[in-house]
Amino acid sequence: MFILKLTICWGFFALLYALLLRKETFFRANRLYLLGTLLGGVLLAAYSDLLPSPAPVAGLYTIALPVIQVGAQQSAAVSSRFDSWDGLWVIYFIGVACMLLRTGWGVAGLLKMVATGSSQRTKGGVVLVRHAGISTPFSFFKWIFIPADSEETPGIQHILAHEYAHARGWHSLDVMLVELLIAACWFHPLVYWYRRSLRTVHEYLADAQASGLIDKKQYGLLLIRQSQSVMPIAFANHFFQSPLKQRLIMLMKQHSAPTRALRYALVLPLTALFIVLFQKAPVMAQSVQTNKSAEVPTMIIAKEISEAPAPEETTCDKSPSFEGGMEAMFAFFGKNLVYPAAVDGKFSEGTVAVSFTVKEDGFIRDVHLSEADGPRMPAAYEAEALRVVSQLPRWTPGKKACKPAAFELCIPIRFKAGAQSTVSEEKPKDLMDVQEVPVFPGGDKALMEYLFKSITIPEADKKTIPAGHPLVAIRFIVGQDGGVSGAEIVKDGGVGKATQEHLLQVVQSMPRWTPAQKDGKAVSTYFTLPIRIAID
C-alpha cells in the first residue's frame, strides 16, 4: 500500500512540474519544488496511515469471522515453507545493498582523488584538486576537480565558474540525498525521474551564473566543445551532464516574466486539494480489491427471523478488513500459529474463540477469549490463540454512517490434530491452500439475504437460546462443481438440537457456489460459516 501511495504522490507532483514549471527560468524555485515534493511524497505516503481519524460513532459492532483451522503437522509445514513474500524481501534488500555499494564506491573514488591529487584552497572555502587522471573539470561538494594541466584546457575560467556555482550552491547535497532515496526505492522509476530533473535544474543554475561572465553564444560553443569529453563519475556535477540541446535552449531563453511566478501560487491550492483527496486513497484502493478479499459481512440472525429485515449494504457502512483480504489473513494464521505440544502422546482437538476490537484507527485492542459455550480447551491452546491474535497487524478500519467506528470481531480457531497429513490431493482443501476462495452466488450480501429468508428459529429452542449472541459455526464442503455437502456443526454456541438441525438443513439447501480455484483449476474446499444468534 505504501508503494501505491508513493507512486500517486510522486506522479501527481511530477505531472504538475511537467505541465506548469519545467519550462520556466525560475531555476531556484524549481529546485526547491523538486526537493520538497520528492521528500514530501515520501512523508505523505508514510504519514497518511497515521492521520487522526474523525470522532467515532458510539457503540461497538460485532462481526464473526470464518473459523481458522490449524493442524498439528500443518503448522510446522507452513512455518518451515519458504514464503514468496520472503523471497521478494530478499530481492529488495539485495537491490538496496547493491545501490549502497555503488554509492560508497563512487564516493571512495572521489576521496582517493582528493588524497592523491594536489589541493589548493580558494576563497569561499572551495578547494581545487588537480589530478592527472581527470580529463575535464567536475565538482563534488566543496571540491572542484581539474586536470593537472588545466591551463591548457580551452575556456577553463568559464568552466571553473560553472563548477564554482555548483560548489557554492551545495548541489552535491541534493545529489547524495537522491542517491540515498534511490537505494531505498531502486525499483521505482519516478525516483530516477527526480534525479534527472534535479540535475538538469542544477546545470541551468550553474549555466546562468557562468554565462554572465561571457557572451551567451560563446558559452554555448564552449558547451558544445566539451560535450564529448566528460569523465563518467557518478555523484559529481560535471560541466556537461544534462542533454545539450535543452541546456542551450534554456541558456538562450529570455527570463520568464514575473507574472509567470503566479504558476507557483497555483501549485499550492492544487497540492492542498490533492492532500485532502489523498486521504481517501485507502478507501478507493479497498473498493477495487477482488471478491476474495472482500470484507466479511456481519451475520447476526435474530430469534424472530420473520420480523427481522435483511440489512442493507451502503457505501458508508463497511466492516473492518484485513490487509490483503481473507486469504492473507488465513496465510497469517497458518504461518504464525503453532500447535501446542502433545500431552501423553495425544493432541487436544477443539475450537478456541477469540474476540478483539478493531479500533477507529485500525489497531487491535482488547484481545480476549469469547465466552465458552461448551468444554474449554487446555490453557496452552487458549494462550496460543490469544498470542497470535494479539500479533495481528493493523486493519483497514470499519465505518458506520460514513464515520470510523469500533468493531468487535470474533475468530474461532479450530485445532485439529493431523489435519494436514490426513487430507489427500482428492479431498477438499483448506482456504489457505487456494488462490481464489469459493463465492456464494451474488456475493456476501446475497448470502446474508439467503440466511435471513431461510432461517427460522424453532419454537422449542426460542426460550433456551443463551444470552449474549451465541456463535454457531457450520463447516461444509464447496465441491468442484460448486455444490454444498458435508455440513457439520463445529461450534454449537449452546443452541438446541432442533436449531442445529435446522441450520444444517439451510446450509445443505444452498444454491451452487462459484468453486475455489487453485492453479487455474476448480477445486473442492472446506468453508466455515459463522452465524450469531441475536437475543431481542
For 90-94, 178-182, 486-490, which range has the lowest pLDDT when averaged over its residues?
A: 486-490
Same domain? For 238 and 323 the reply is no
Same domain? For 146 and 64 the reply is no
Find out whether 525 and 428 touch, Cβ atoms under 8 Å. Answer: yes
% of the chain surpassing 70 pLDDT: 74
**For residue 353, pLDDT beyond 70:** yes
| 521 occurs within a structural domain | yes
pLDDT bracket for residue 253 (50, 70, 90):
confident
Which CA distances in Å does 509 have to 48, 302, 443, 484?
Answer: 46, 20, 17, 8
Q: Determine the pLDDT at residue 36.
A: 93
**For residue 324, pLDDT beyond 80:** no
Q: Determine the pLDDT at residue 344.
A: 65
Return the C-alpha torsion angle 426, 431, 433, 435, nearest 10. 110
Same domain? For 37 and 141 the reply is yes
Task: State how far the Cα of 512 lies from the Cα of 516, in Å rounded to an integer.
Answer: 12
| 283 occurs within a structural domain | no
Q: Determine the pLDDT at residue 177.
A: 94
| 453 occurs within a structural domain | yes
What is the distance of C-alpha 26 from the center of its chain? Answer: 36
Q: What is the mean pLDDT of residues 391-409?
A: 85
Find out whether 477 and 428 touch, Cβ atoms under 8 Å. Answer: yes
Same domain? For 221 and 249 the reply is yes
Q: What is the mean pLDDT of residues 434-451?
A: 86
The top-scoring range by mean pLDDT among 46-60, 407-421, 512-526 is 512-526
Give the cell for residue 13: 507532483
| 514 occurs within a structural domain | yes
HEC string for 389-458: HHCCCCCECEEECCEEEEEEEEEEEEECCCCCCCCCCCCCECHHHCCECCECCCHHHHHHHHHHHHCCCC
Query: In terms of C-beta density within 10 A (0-12 exposed, 13-18 middle, 19 or more buried), how is residue 276 classed?
Result: exposed
Query: Higher model confidence: residue 500 or residue 50?
Result: 500
pLDDT bracket for residue 275 (50, 70, 90):
confident
Model pLDDT for residues 22-39, shown as the tens digit of each residue: 888 888 999 999 999 999
Q: List the domain range (segments joined by +) for residue 254.
A: 2-51+87-274
Same domain? For 181 and 324 the reply is no
pLDDT bracket for residue 222 (50, 70, 90):
low
Same domain? For 266 and 330 the reply is no
57 Cβ neighbours under 8 A, 6+ residues apart: 400, 401, 403, 404, 405
What would the DSSP string read from start to end of 94-130?
Answer: HHHHHHHHHHHHHHHHHHHHHHHSEEEE-GGG-EEEE
Q: Determine the pLDDT at residue 436.
A: 85
Bridge partners, residue 407, by sequence: 61, 358
Domain boundary among 274, 299, 317: 274
pLDDT bracket for residue 398 (50, 70, 90):
confident
What is the distance of C-alpha 181 from the center of its chain? Answer: 18
Q: What is the mean pLDDT of residues 110-138?
A: 87
Task: For the chain, give the mean pLDDT.
Answer: 76
What is the distance of C-alpha 84 from the center of its chain? Answer: 16
- Count how many domains the chain has: 2
Same domain? For 369 and 264 the reply is no
Query: In terms of C-beta density within 10 A (0-12 exposed, 13-18 middle, 19 or more buried), how is residue 104 classed?
Result: exposed
The top-scoring range by mean pLDDT among 120-129, 333-342, 375-384 is 120-129
| 284 occurs within a structural domain | no
Q: Determine the pLDDT at residue 154.
A: 64
Q: What is the mean pLDDT of residues 144-162?
A: 78
Q: Determine the pLDDT at residue 412.
A: 83
Please count the CA atoms within 13 angstroms of the CA of 202 that sit on its side-chain side.
31
% of the chain surpassing 90 pLDDT: 15
Give the cell for residue 197: 530533473
Same domain? For 180 and 314 the reply is no
Where do we find the cell 458435508? 486
Q: Where are the beta strands (DSSP E) in 231-298?
A: 237-238
Same domain? For 385 and 353 the reply is yes
Q: Determine the pLDDT at residue 415.
A: 78
Same domain? For 243 and 167 the reply is yes
Give the cell for residue 17: 512540474
Q: Determine the pLDDT at residue 433.
A: 76
| 282 occurs within a structural domain | no
| 279 occurs within a structural domain | no
Task: State how far the Cα of 134 lies from the Cα of 231, in Å rounded to an integer.
Answer: 7
Domain boundary among 217, 245, 274: 274
Find out whether 188 and 164 touch, Cβ atoms under 8 Å. Answer: no
Same domain? For 93 and 77 the reply is no
Q: What is the mean pLDDT of residues 507-516?
A: 89
End-to-end CA distance of the chain: 41
Return the C-alpha torsion angle 219, 222, 226, 228, nearest 10. 100
Same domain? For 202 and 176 the reply is yes
| 331 occurs within a structural domain | yes
Domain boundary among 274, 299, 320: 274
pLDDT bracket for residue 5 (50, 70, 90):
confident
